[in-house]
Structure 1
Amino acid sequence: MNNPESIVECDLLVIGGGINGTGVARDAAGRGLSVILCEKDDFASHTSSASSKLIHGGLRYLEFYEFGLVRKALLEREALLKIAPHLITPLNFVMPHRKGLRPRWLLRLALLVYDHLAPRELLQAARSIHFSTDKSGQGLQKYLKHGFRYTDAWVDDARLVVLNAVDAKERGARLFSRIECTALNQVDGRWEAKLESRCNSETQVIKVVARAVVNAGGAWAGQIQNLAESGLTTKLRLVKGSHLIVKKLYSGTDAYLFQHPDGRIVFALPFQDQFTLIGTTDLEYEGDLNQIAITDAEINYLCELSNQYFETQISARDVVSSYAGVRPLVDDGNDDAKAITRDYHLHLVDHGAPIVHVFGGKITTYRRLAEDVFHLLSAHFHNSRPDWTSKELLPGGDLSTTFPSRDNVLHRDAFVADCVLRYNFVNRATIQRMAQAYGSRIHVILEGCLDEEALGPELVPNLFTREIDYLVKNEFATTADDILWRRTKLGLFCSEADHARLKDYVKSYFASTKSA
């Protein structure tokens, strides 16, 4: 049956629930604007959960003279560490030198520039290492003699998106997942949008009247640009990046940066304690945006490169899981996909009601992008409130203080240890995971729990109904996959029976709330 159409008004409609869309919604809501955000699937269900999970300046971009992008990203690296110290953590990288590729002097010079392009308060400077004496050499091929160590940061990318969405909601924004913008027109100096959600036989329609629109549709941004008929015809190139996950290939907690003879850079990262994450590729993509997946050729490419550096050899049969995402990059005329700029492009069209189209960008620079979007629109709203998102913690970030600071970052390990001690009736690994994922909000989830029984049934290994209920009530989760792959990464440890059990529980949860 069809539900009647509802009509809502707002200052700003944001289309797209990835990192850029939720970042824009958070920024605007914090400035007092009324905000509506729509996402056709789950938050972070596409490119924003398919990154290399890094908050970094982009060392390889120096090779393409992208000094401005690298500096901007390095500044953001420090800011994000401070506003989400539970979720974003320093990570040491080892870059082996390989004869015949980039010379040692060039790598050392690049790292020197990387260290000094922006102020660095929290992370260590780069240095040379010899694998015969440095523990990072264990597990590497013996022909590799020396390299470099530097520090960037790691993030659970999908959770970063969700935390921005949660904060936007708590500041007054209205966010809708699994509802698609199917029409977008200017009427009497306002945007009128039609949002449609289909669930089984029911169709929900929401008509939104907005003073301005931000198109943050990611890989679908070009389609939304056409839907708006705003006169802008930006030429985009879709570039796919793929990653694979295998059983842990080496001991220790370092990440590795490997050079490929074709000029590409590939990361090998410690992942969920038991795995190694390897990626990414850079390939032009012209297929179905809803069916993006790693190819056999990409799997072989990443496995072969890993085998050139690690003693433990892998092949396609060792792949435990994989994922792929697509970035919409503005065509800069470069023939090489890996050389196209990753900096974002914002296009304001203000013939009548304004719309900002967002193209490209990196997860590291999302917060700065959101500020720049508002700067483009501020005159239209007569809103001159100062920038604020670098000064306010994301939910759960108050590990030792209630404001972004160096202390919060440095207190992270002590905070996790305190949680393990406080909730010693729960599996240690579970509490460590929860403390890192939720920060101080772990205490909200476990409030009143004095024993493991209070957490409810364990539907998936190390996942209890107390946490599941929190994710559904507070973090927009509506399916088992939302929980297993985006709110947590427990899908890696989940059997088919576990998945079915969780699916049934979530379905019954919504059935009971609907009938209540």
Structure 2
Amino acid sequence: MTQGSRYDLLVVGGGINGAGIARDAAGRGLSVLLVEQDDLASHTSSSSTKLIHGGLRYLEYKEFGLVRKALQERETLLRAAPHIMWPLRFVMPHMPNLRPAWLIRAGLFLYDHLARRELLPGSRGIVMRRHPAGAPLVDSIARGFVYSDGWVDDARLVVLNALDAAERGATVATRTKLVSAVRAGGEWHAQLLRADGTRFDIRAGALANAAGPWVGQLLHNALGRGAHYSVRLVKGSHIVTRRLFEHDHAYIFQNPDKRIIFAIPYEREYTLIGTTDVEYHGDPAQVAISEDETRYLCDSINRYFKRKISPTDVCWTYAGVRPLLEEEGADNPSAVTRDYKLELDAPAGEAPLLSVFGGKITTFRKLAEEAVDLLGPTIGLTARTWTAGAPLPGGDIANAQFEPFAARFASEHPWLPADLARRYARAYGTRATRVIGQAKTLADLGHAFAPGIHECELRYLRDVEWARSADDVLWRRSKLGLHLAPGTLSAVRADIDDWFAHSPAASASLPHTA
């Protein structure tokens, strides 16, 4: 990326929608520049409940079209990246005072049949005392239901979309902010600002505004225009505790306020609990869980589990701001649609602008496909859609079967500790061999910043996946920070930051990286 460079498409926003649009467009032959003011997936897209799901509760709000679209996408995504996405069974205890059994059965029937399933089993009723999921629950819960959805490492999903875009010719510039853009001569003239304070200008045939919570701010401040749609900022907070149950199912709990709360197996040793829905009016970059939200999530869990938890049991928290599509009459944040709208501003003879309002992680691929389809006629693009059957980097695993792949990777590298071999297989899929390179022993992996965190992985994340700091590695490219003892986290973070400061990225390692 140099001063005055021209691209067919400038994509602003390195969350899941921006990365997905960049990938789709690059794969159709467009020259693409993706810019993100922070790290990839720094905000909303690394702060989800980490589910690939149709949204069972959205059926109550008659969001049948959204649910069907999301259900159709589940298995497409599971096949595209079986290393970072996998099927997950959910247990819903039946609470007769909240929702009648017939209503739940009807909802699950719809959920099973609104879209075709091949990988995921259907729903069924269970007797709690006969099912492993019943053991941790209070004795008053006698019956429940089990159904299928999927799990995703959300931040890695963003990175892999950006990586696929780069390998198809896109330029990806993190820590680069769009300052302003104006139309002139049938194209966009944009000024960008790097983290080091340097400014430079580029030109683009079209601009896609996928700034998430900042979509309206970008339109107003950087582009000097308004829009027909707007987003409503809703905070979703999560807590993480030590593991509350031993089995591999997740729970979906119904609350008296009609919200639902998930309790999900997380990072082997933990349970992830969330989420809240709280109206948010602050800076999306400064969002954090409140004490009230922490208590709310603990209380929600305590209605169901025999083992009670309190805020002192919380090991880690995170919060994100969802940019939900604003609708009239939706006073309750939980009732605001998770669907999206694409707004195309394409006056005759002028460069087009596409803005993304709303969306959810499950439908990002479809959103990206529709966005590029919408832009296509305005910039002379005729290439067909392609992402539905294409694996993401590392996802080209035979028959989308992760376990045989992981076992083979471990057997081919018997010198790797079993936990480390599995983590490499999970995080990088078929590209795990690129991470370890020619290593034949643990010593060959380089300096160990902490158990399981070796220099070879940092080099890969720096040179291939745009990592530039300890937090990029410990909390976005992985959740290794969660596994470090509180007394050592600060020291490990400082050591990794120091390594990055003295080991700048190799400029030629990925030709299309800025």
TM class by shorter-chain length? over 0.9
Alignment match of 1:315 (pick from 310, 323, 329): 310
Verify the 8 A CA contact 2:125 2:146 in the aligned structure 1: yes
SS at match of 1:151: strand
- By how many angstroms is 1:470 displaced? 0.5
* TM-score for both structures, normalised by structure 1: 0.95
Q: Structure 1: where are the runs of 5+ without partners?
A: 401-406
In 2, Cα distance between the equivalents of 1:513 and 1:473?
Answer: 8
Q: Which residue of 2 aligns with 1:39?
A: 36
SS at match of 1:26: helix
Do the aligned partners of 1:139 and 1:312 also contact (CA within 8 Å) in 2? Answer: yes
Q: Cα gap change, 1:97/1:327 in structure 2, threshold over 3 Å: closer, same or farther?
A: same
> Is 1:462 the counterpart of 2:458 in the alignment?
no
Aligned-partner Cα distance in 2 for 1:349–1:377: 10
Match of 2:185 in 1: 188
Match of 1:482 among 455, 472, 475: 472
Q: Is the 8 A contact 1:10 1:35 kept in 2?
A: yes
Q: Give 1:204 shift.
A: 1.8
Pairing partner for 2:202 from 180, 197, 208: 208
Distance 2:177 2:230 in 1: 23
Residue 336 of structure 2 is aligned to residue 340 of structure 1:
yes
Bigger Cα displacement from structure 2, 232-241 vs 371-380: 232-241
Change (3 A) 1:231 1:133: closer
Q: In the alignment, what sits opposite 1:57?
A: 54
Counterpart of 1:258 in structure 2 is 253
Q: How many residues align?
A: 500
Sort the Cα spacing of 1:378 and 1:256 in 2 relative to 1 into closer, same or farther, 3 A: same
Aligned to 2:194: 197
* Per-residue deviation, residues 163-187 of structure 1 (Å, max 9, x unmatched): 0000000000001000111111111
Name the CA distance, whole Å, in 2 between partners of 1:303 and 1:419: 39
Query: Which residue of 2 is the match for residue 245 of structure 1?
Result: 240
- Give the drift of 1:25: 0.2
5 Å matches for 1:48-447?
A: 48-199=45-196, 203-226=197-220, 227-333=222-328, 334-351=330-347, 352-400=350-398, 407-408=399-400, 411-447=401-437
Please identify, of 343-352 and 150-159, the stretch whose mean Cα deviation from structure 2 is larger.
343-352
Work out whether residues 51 and 150 of structure 2, in 8 Å CA contact, stay in contact via their aligned partners in 1: yes
Instruction: Specify whether residues 101 and 34 from structure 1 end up closer, same or farther in structure 2 by C-alpha distance, changes over 3 A only.
Output: same
Secondary structure of the equivalent of 1:372? Answer: helix
Once residues 58 and 506 of structure 1 are traced to their aligned partners in structure 2, the CA distance between those partners, rounded to angstroms, is 40
State the 1:511 CA deviation.
Answer: 8.6
1:104-156 CA distances to partner (integer Å, 9 max, x unpaired)? Answer: 11111100100000000110000000111111111111111110011111010
Please state how far the C-alpha of 1:461 moved relative to its aligned partner.
2.2
CA shift digits 1:471-492 (9 cap, x unpaired): 0010010111000011111010
Deviation of the 1:188 alpha carbon: 1.9
2:512 matched to which residue of 1?
A: none
| Cα displacement (A) at 1:37 | 0.8
Q: Output the CA distance in 2 between the equivalents of 1:347 and 1:229.
A: 16
Is this contact kept in 1: 2:346–2:378, CA < 8 A? no
Q: What do residues 379-432 of structure 1 show as CA deviations (whole Å, max 9, x unaligned)? A: 1122211110012110011122xxxxxx22xx2111111122222212211111
Partner amino acid, structure 2, of 1:458: A
Deviates more, 1:61-70 or 1:343-352: 343-352
Separation (CA, whole Å) in 1 of partners of 2:344 and 2:495: 47
| Segments of 4+ moved more than 3 angstroms | 511-514
Relative distance call for 1:183 and 1:335 in structure 2 (3 A) is: same
- For structure 2, list consecutive stretches of 5 or more residues without a partner in the other structure: 509-514
Percentage identity across paired residues of the two chains: 47
Counterpart secondary structure, 2:198: strand
The Cα RMSD (Å) is 1.5
SS at match of 1:128: strand
